[in-house]
Amino acid sequence: MVLSTISSSVGYSLESVGKFEKHGLNTFKDPVSWIAGGIAGVVGRAAVIPLDQGGGKGPLHAIARRGPQTAILFGLYVPIASTMNSDTHNPQHKLLSTFVIGSVAGYWMRAITNPIGRILDESTRLNVGPREAAKRMRSKTVLHFYYCSPPLVANALYFGSLFTAFEGLRRFAERNGAPTDNVVSATLLNGLCGAAAATVASVATFPFSAHRYSQVVIHDSAIVRGLPATLMKEVPLMAVTFATFSFISQSINSYQRGGFGY
């Protein structure tokens, strides 16, 4: 029985990867998720600036960098999850599908933005323009674009866990009578679920993430400072980010269930 369940789960996870590619074009049909995601990331990061002043990069750089990251994250996750999961009725399969979609979105969020961040960091360190910094880094190895940057696999696991916890909590709340019949109530619910999901995902992935982050030279990451510092940043950050995304996407688009589809 256990082996059968595991085999079924692994098989469906692989199938979900194939479906991800099939539904990937949906991301280009939904610019609202990209726009709302970018704005939500900026608002969320700005909300927690008083806690860390943006780290070593400073508040303006920290806020500006968060926008493209969450634009990619939500721009990939929401359109694909809302179509793939609407056709999935098995709760176990839906959980696995959500984890796969969230993980892939989290992976590509960092894979795309890490090189940009490294170029900007190198530009500041060398006191040269971004183009000159990119030219100097290009003469080395491609690994220099990812060295000192957030680890790809650690971020994939975190965001996969984050969205899985978020969707589970959101559906549990809805089944137990949580009000979602208007923009304000759905926004508040998603903000609370985002905070709870960030708590669950941070605690669950912290051992692996802390190990991976300690192997790269990131001195201003909350993860390096420990779990309490990570929770102090991530919980309010994700609460505001999810609430803002929900409010904007519902105000512009007609996604069901608070802006996150089915």
Confidence of residue 171 (pLDDT cuts 50, 70, 90): confident
What is the rounded distance in angstroms from the CA atom of residue 242 to the CA atom of residue 163? 10
pTM: predicted TM-score of the whole model, two decimal places: 0.83
Using CB atoms within 10 Å of the CB of residue 229, give its burial: 0 to 12 exposed, 13 to 18 middle, 19+ buried: middle
Give helix 183-213 / helix 227-252 axis angle, nearest 10°: 140
Task: List, for residues 235-257, the tens digit of each pLDDT value.
Answer: 999 999 999 999 998 887 655 55
The CA distance from 163 to 160, in Å, is 6
Q: What tens digit of pLDDT does each residue of 59-107 get?
A: 888 898 899 999 999 999 998 888 887 666 666 778 888 899 999 999 9
Distances (CA, A) of 28 to 36, 72, 89, 213: 14, 11, 26, 32
Mean pLDDT confidence for 162-169: 94
Contact 198, 237 (CB under 8 A): yes
| pLDDT tens-place string over residues 185-201 | 889 999 999 999 999 99
Residue 163 has pLDDT above 60, yes or no: yes
- Distance CA(206)–CA(234), nearest Å, equals 12
Q: How far is CA 75 from the centre of its chain?
A: 10
What is the secondary structure of the chain as a DSSP string? -HHHHHHHHHHHHHHHHHHHHHHGGGGGG-HHHHHHHHHHHHHHHHHTHHHHTTGGG-HHHHHHHHHHHHHHHHHHHHHHHHHHGGG---HHHHHHHHHHHHHHHHHHHHHHHHHHHHHHHHHHHHTS-HHHHHHHHHTS-GGGGTTTS--HHHHHHHHHHHHHHHHHHHHHHHHTT---SSHHHHHHHHHHHHHHHHHHHHHHHHHHHHHHHTTS--SS-GGGG-HHHHHHHHHHHHHHHHHHHHHHHHHHS--HHHHT--
- pLDDT, tens digit, for every residue of 24-52? 556 666 788 899 999 999 999 999 999 88
Output the pLDDT for position 181: 76
**What's the pLDDT tens digit per position in 123-137?**
777 788 888 888 877
